[in-house]
Amino acid sequence: MKKKFEIGLFALNSSSGISMTKVEERWRADWDDIEIAAKLSDKAGLDFIISVQRWLGFDGATDPAGLTYDSLTFCAALASITSNIRLYATVHVPILHPTYLARSLATIDQVSKGRAALNIVCGWNQREFEMFDIMNQDMVNRYDEGEEWLKLLNNIFSNSTFKPFKGNYFNTRFSSTSPKLYKRNKINTLNAAFSETGRSFAAKNCDSLITMFSSYDSARKQTKNIKKTAKLHNNSIKVYGLVHIVCRETDIEAEEYYNYYAGEMADKDAINNFISILSRGDKNSVLANLQKSQMKKMAGGLGSFPIVGSPKTVMSKISDLDDLGLDGIAIGFVNFKDELPYFIDNVFKKIT
């Protein structure tokens, strides 16, 4: 039996989603619109919603992500208005202790009857950490810290009586949560690391990983390598691709709109700020130069893979991603509320 190819949404709780464009219709993350998009996705049978956790926006003309609802409480809100869709909360390891997180996740999991999930971020944006007086993150082996953090979290969930935990980063003699998770003792985990070290962490410790790629061949190789590494750790990991989609009645119409919002109307200042943060201010780094050469993809969806075309073309491209070994895709749109109905009726319902 062929595996299910999963499709979900990414950054629904954040202004502009993953696009960096000045078009008037860009995603504002108004709650009323979020509620419509979330309920529509749930009813249609989409598999997940991955909320992000941004503490600062990227300035420019539109300040993408400047408005971002807290990921944990956002998932709690969605849990009360949806019935089936999996809800990923994003948490930064250095910011939130596992004891607090265990209670929060268990609460969401009970409300949603087992649909809570966790996107683990070991850290990348020093500007955001400084908001929490975390000044020495560069001196920490963040993935070793993340592995300990996750072990402690699972310790709290899995044991009726807490077992003392001692490591290099955590030394906890007692911790507990009541409620526990809903009918299980382990949370579903996701990671979006791009470095070799980060992907090794995910392959060893997580249930899923989101990857970014520039071509089908790159996606195939990455998926194969990640799953091979996971197998060495006796872990069966799912690999999702991050994509941005423009679906219109014709290929020409879709391409014209893509050229407009991601080309002509790109928020270049916001894009350059994002690149600077990601490359830690090194404007001449390989990463920075690579991203600057792909400004259209950066505007389209933070450099993610573009899927642009008619419903037939979009279905074909998604099918190709399925065939090369990916387990699913996380999607960004310019406007989730406006574009989801057409995508669901003309693409999603025909491929599921």
Q: Is the peptide bond before 98 cis (omega within 30 degrees of 0)?
A: no
Q: Is residue 1 part of a domain?
A: no
Reported confidence tier of residue 252, pLDDT bands at 50, 70, 90: very high
Q: Is residue 273 part of a domain?
A: yes
- pLDDT above 50: residue 286: no
Q: Directed axis angle between helix 216-232 and helix 196-205, to 10°?
A: 50
End-to-end distance of the chain based on CA atoms, in angstroms? 14
Q: Say if CB 137 and CB 126 are below 8 A apart.
A: yes
Q: Is residue 103 part of a domain?
A: yes
Task: Give the pLDDT confidence of 255-285 residue by residue, as tens digits.
Answer: 999 999 999 999 999 999 998 887 664 455 5
Reported confidence tier of residue 161, pLDDT bands at 50, 70, 90: confident
Residue 195: domain span: 6-351
CA–CA distance, 184 with 58 (Å, rounded to integer): 38
Residue bearing tokens 């899927």: 307
Token digits of residue 176: 């507990």
What's the CATH code of the domain at 231?
3.20.20.30
CA–CA distance, 122 with 139 (Å, rounded to integer): 13
Token digits of residue 59: 């300035």
Mean pLDDT, the chain, as a whole number?
92
Q: List, in order, residues 6 or more apart from 281 with CB less than 8 Å away.
A: none
Residue bearing tokens 């993340």: 146
Residue predicted with more confidence, 291 or 69: 69
Q: Is residue 317 part of a domain?
A: yes
CA–CA distance, 213 with 132 (Å, rounded to integer): 32
Token digits of residue 108: 């969401």
Q: What is the per-residue pLDDT for 288?
A: 47
Structural domains in the chain (count): 1
Start-end of H helices in 159-214: 196-205
Q: Which long-range contacts (CB under 8 A, 24 or more apart) does 148-151 make?
A: 149/93, 149/98, 149/120, 150/98, 150/120, 150/189, 150/205
Q: Is residue 25 part of a domain?
A: yes
Mean pLDDT computed over 339-343: 98
Q: How far is CA 160 from CA 32, 110, 186, in A?
A: 40, 17, 13
Task: Give the pLDDT confidence of 206-219 residue by residue, as tens digits.
Answer: 999 999 999 999 99
Q: Is residue 265 part of a domain?
A: yes
Task: Give the pLDDT confidence of 311-337 residue by residue, as tens digits.
Answer: 999 999 999 999 999 999 999 999 999
Q: Which amino acid is it at 345?
A: D
| Whole-structure pTM value | 0.94
- pLDDT above 80: residue 291: no
Query: How big, in percent rounded to 5, are the helix, strand and coil portions of the chain?
Result: 45, 15, 40
